[in-house]
């Protein structure tokens, strides 16, 4: 009976050892992938839930702070491990910026067209006068 228990314990310890090593390799691969994608201009998500754009980052010296722009003109220093993940790699950011500039002219035209559901100033005055008379 004791031999079976020692056998089960040995199997459990071996399983835990291999499972831990597999997880460590997976985490190392994720860190290396994050380090290659974390370049100036890439959009990132920070541990605190803030989104920002990388201004400066040193993947070799993880103790030096990374500079992240969270709003135009607002750059903060964060620990390099505070970068949770890269949301959009630099290529996707460049493509999105190009799409945004192309769509800007169309959206301005669409926004300037009058909507049939909007009231004219005269209709608004008349409605306000009716509401005031009802009171």
Compute the average pLDDT of residues 59-69: 86
pLDDT at 21: 94
Q: What is the pLDDT of residues 87-101, one digit of tens each?
A: 876 555 455 555 555
pLDDT at 44: 92
* Dist. CA 59–CA 53, nearest whole Å: 16
Q: Domain spans of the chain? A: 2-111
66-71: strand order across its sheet: 74-78, 66-71, 51-56, 43-46, 83-88
Any residues with CB less than 8 A from the CB of 37 and at least 6 apart, and which? 86, 89
pLDDT in tens, 3-47: 899 999 999 999 999 999 999 999 898 888 887 888 888 899 999
Instruction: Point out which residues pair with 76 in neighbouring strands.
Output: 68
Confidence band of 103 (pLDDT split at 50, 70, 90): low
Q: pLDDT at position 92, please? A: 53
**Contacting residues for 5 by C-beta, under 8 A, at least 6 apart:** none
- Name which of 94, 98, 102 is nearest 42 in CA terms: 94
Q: Is the pLDDT of residue 112 over 70?
A: no
Locate 127 and state its tokens: 């409605």
- Rounded to whole angstroms, how far apart are CA atoms 41 and 57? 10
Q: In the prediction, which pLDDT does 113 show? A: 47
Place of tokens 């100033």: 121
The overall average pLDDT reported for the chain is 79
Residue 127 DSSP one-character state:
H
In total, the chain counts a number of residues equal to 135
**Percent of the chain with pLDDT strictly greater than 90:** 33
Task: Show the tokens assigned to 34.
Answer: 């994050």
């Amino acid at each position: 009976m004791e031999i079976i228990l020692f056998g089960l314990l040995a199997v459990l310890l071996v399983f835990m050892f291999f499972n831990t090593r597999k997880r460590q390799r997976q985490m190392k691969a994720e860190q290396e992938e994050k380090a290659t994608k974390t370049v100036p201009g890439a959009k990132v998500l920070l541990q605190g839930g803030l989104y920002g754009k990388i201004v400066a980052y040193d993947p070799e010296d993880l103790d030096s702070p990374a500079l992240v722009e969270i709003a135009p003109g607002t750059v903060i220093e964060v620990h390099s491990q505070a970068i949770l993940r890269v949301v959009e790699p630099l290529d996707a950011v460049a493509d999105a910026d190009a799409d945004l500039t192309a769509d800007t002219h169309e959206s301005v035209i669409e926004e300037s067209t009058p909507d049939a559901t909007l009231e004219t100033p005269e209709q608004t005055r008349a409605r306000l006068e009716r509401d005031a008379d009802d009171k």
